[in-house]
Amino acid sequence: MSPPTSKRAKTRPAPVAPVATQLPSEVANEWSELAHRWQDVGAQWTKLWSDAALGTMRVMPASLPSLDIASQVPAVSIDSAAAALLTERYTRSFEELWTRATEGRTLQASAHPPADRRFSDKAWREHPYFAWLRDAYLLYGEYVRELAALAQTDDATKRRLVFVAQQYVDAISPSNFLATNPEALKRALETGGTSIAQGLSNLVSDAQRGRIAMTDESAFEVGRNLATTPGSVVYRNPLIELIQYAPTTSEVARRPLLIVPPCINKYYILDLQPENSFVRYAVGEGHTVFMVSWRNIPSELGGLTWDDYLEQGVLAALDVACEIAGGKTVNALGFCVGGTLLACALAVLAGRRETPVASTTLLATMLDFADPGDIGVYVSREGLAARMPALCGGGRIQGSELASAFASLRPNELVWNYVVGNYLKGQTPPAFDLLYWNSDSANLPGPMYVEYLRNMYLDNRLREPGALTMCGQPIELERITMPAYVLATREDHIVPWRSAYKSVDLLGGDLTFVLGDSGETRTVRVEPDKLPYGHDGLPGSVLDIAMGAGVHLDHACGGVAACSTCHVVVEEGGETCSAMLEAEEDMLDLAVGVTDKSRLGCQCIPNGKKSMRVRIPEWNRNLVAEPPH
């Protein structure tokens, strides 16, 4: 069919002007205070390491410098006898470490975490002082982690304590302070102190913007070298703009593709640069692509709710896309929280007995929040209750707050790496389009945010049929019966892949599950010529696995699959399992809808059940994983 035009698009008479957000003075003050605390802690730890290196500290000190991050968790009880034994054991280890250092020996290389970029410079290995610093720090980190593990408290509090302990260990690394970082000291000498001056300048600049610079922001500009796929806004309401991208083929598919991106960042995550733009790729394949662009919520829209995001966001975009394309259905794709919103909207439509979506794709999306990963440590009933009066009264959650929380989940990669580079070495971070997008965050309305945290993260009610009502409809995810494609990524620190995998039990249609490599935002970007990151279409094993009766992907290791009910293991290319009908070179077909169960020794496969395709990219075949049953 010929490409549709936007002449029939609905528009609102009043344009929605973008709202510029200014950095509050209190944010700058907080940064100034943080900088002072960081310098104070650095001075304390420098003295501690130096005293130890000079031999004036021979045992573990009774009091260690602290970032006071332990105040983030309630008081917990630790068995005093166990703690004493642990301290005694590590005190001996420190003494042994000092003895080796005085004899010119350090820990064996195998004793250190592999690929720890903080200590990659040869000075950490060859210079006795810095080698001792590294070894003493790594040993102390083990002590702190084991001490936190001794806490006698409930699972949620213990998880928070373990998380805070790791944050503390990461923060006190000798690589994070000028006096104990050999690379930073060497650069200061080579530049005659210029690097230190530039580092202070970088610190001031970051304090003014309220965040740590993770990329050279001067290298990018939306519309110049980001989000350059041609398109135009065809619909606008107070919450969204809908972009339709211009076709590049003489004919296009009859059914368009609607993309719902996450609402805490800007729309162009799937349209970064031409070489990694999913949008450009989809348009080039003959799809008519529509993209939701969420509003950066100003104060006057602070009262919007989750239902508003469904009605004015996803459902409005579906209506317009269908109208412009001149058809009855679209294909829909949701990414991260955009996928959660899309799934909720589809459940609302199912309740209304409307079917405008023919297929759905969920990229790095959680529908079951039983295990939200480390981000769960920031979500508590007490914390939400304390903020509810302000949030439900029209307050907003700042995008920068959420971005900082996400970054703290990988502090060495997304915080301290840039502290060292920007401030200690006086460098400008390299240009990276993904991190530029990551810092371009958007605010959320308080009531919508409260509903999201309470219903999903705290109560996990989305997975329960009929437990939630949205837009006047009871939400039952199993009524979403169109074919679904679910992508999870192995290293995702925001949407753990095991949690994303649980969607296979909640949705009601035929489903393809794909486990990709890397993190969520890197995996979903398409670079066809570079074969990146393990999305569908790349070499790998495909397993057709029956859904229902406990039959799930249980293990994936070297092309091995197992039924999670009977644990019968099948090796690719090997003999047929009792739960399998056949094993081919690249595919294992688990029996689906088999009438003669005498052929199935495990008796796990119900008749007439739908199938699920699971792709395990070849570089993930050394992964041993056990998704929840």
Shared-domain flag, residues 265 and 346: yes
Q: What is the CATH number of the domain that holds 393?
A: 3.40.50.1820
Average confidence (pLDDT) over 357-376: 93
DSSP state of 59: S
Shared-domain flag, residues 239 and 96: no
Establish if 210 belongs to a structural domain. no
Establish if 562 belongs to a structural domain. yes
**Final residue in a domain of this structure, among 148, 176, 204:** 176
**Integer Cα distance of 88 and 93 in angstroms:** 9
Contacts for 413 with CB less than 8 Å, ≥ 6 apart = none
What pLDDT digit, counting tens, does each position of 166-209 carry? Answer: 888 898 899 999 989 999 999 999 999 999 999 999 998 888 88
C-alpha dist (Å) from residue 400 to 31, 269, 405, 607: 13, 17, 9, 50
Establish if 628 belongs to a structural domain. no
Beta partners for 265? 441
Shared-domain flag, residues 465 and 605: no
Q: Are 525 and 532 in contact (CB under 8 A)?
A: yes
Residue 4 has pLDDT above 60, yes or no: no
Establish if 198 belongs to a structural domain. no
pLDDT at 187: 96
Residue 587 has pLDDT above 80, yes or no: no
C-alpha dist (Å) from residue 513 to 94, 342, 536, 573: 48, 17, 10, 22
Tokens of 122: 């040869």
What pLDDT digit, counting tens, does each position of 297-306 carry? Answer: 999 999 999 9
Shared-domain flag, residues 570 and 493: no
Establish if 270 belongs to a structural domain. yes
- 361's enclosing H/E stretch is strand 357-363
Amino acid at 158: K
Residue 111 has pLDDT above 80, yes or no: no
Shared-domain flag, residues 172 and 296: no
What pLDDT digit, counting tens, does each position of 265-281 carry? Answer: 889 888 988 888 889 98
Tokens of 571: 């090796």
Establish if 502 belongs to a structural domain. yes
Shared-domain flag, residues 116 and 158: yes
**What are the residue numbers of the active site?**
336
Average confidence (pLDDT) over 475-498: 89
Q: Across the chain, how many H-helices and E-strands are there?
A: 20, 20
C-alpha dist (Å) from residue 566 to 67, 489, 550, 569, 626: 49, 27, 9, 9, 14
Establish if 396 belongs to a structural domain. yes
Mean pLDDT lowest for which of 308-312, 383-387, 599-603? 599-603
Higher pLDDT, 615 or 352: 352
Average confidence (pLDDT) over 308-324: 97
Look up the pTM and report it.
Answer: 0.75
Maximal CA-CA distance, the chain = 81
**Final residue in a domain of this structure, among 108, 141, 176:** 176
What pLDDT digit, counting tens, does each position of 428-461 carry? Answer: 999 888 888 888 889 999 999 999 999 999 999 9
- Report percent pLDDT > 70 for the chain: 68
Average pLDDT, the chain: 74
Shared-domain flag, residues 556 and 512: no
Establish if 476 belongs to a structural domain. yes
Q: Are 416 and 173 in contact (CB under 8 A)?
A: yes
Shared-domain flag, residues 279 and 395: yes
Q: How many domains does the chain have?
A: 3
**Final residue in a domain of this structure, among 463, 497, 524:** 524
Domain span holding position 556: 541-620
Shared-domain flag, residues 510 and 545: no
What pLDDT digit, counting tens, does each position of 26-45 carry? Answer: 434 444 454 555 556 555 65
Shared-domain flag, residues 239 and 307: yes
Shared-domain flag, residues 334 and 400: yes
DSSP state of 263: T
Shared-domain flag, residues 259 and 391: yes
- Report percent pLDDT > 90 for the chain: 38
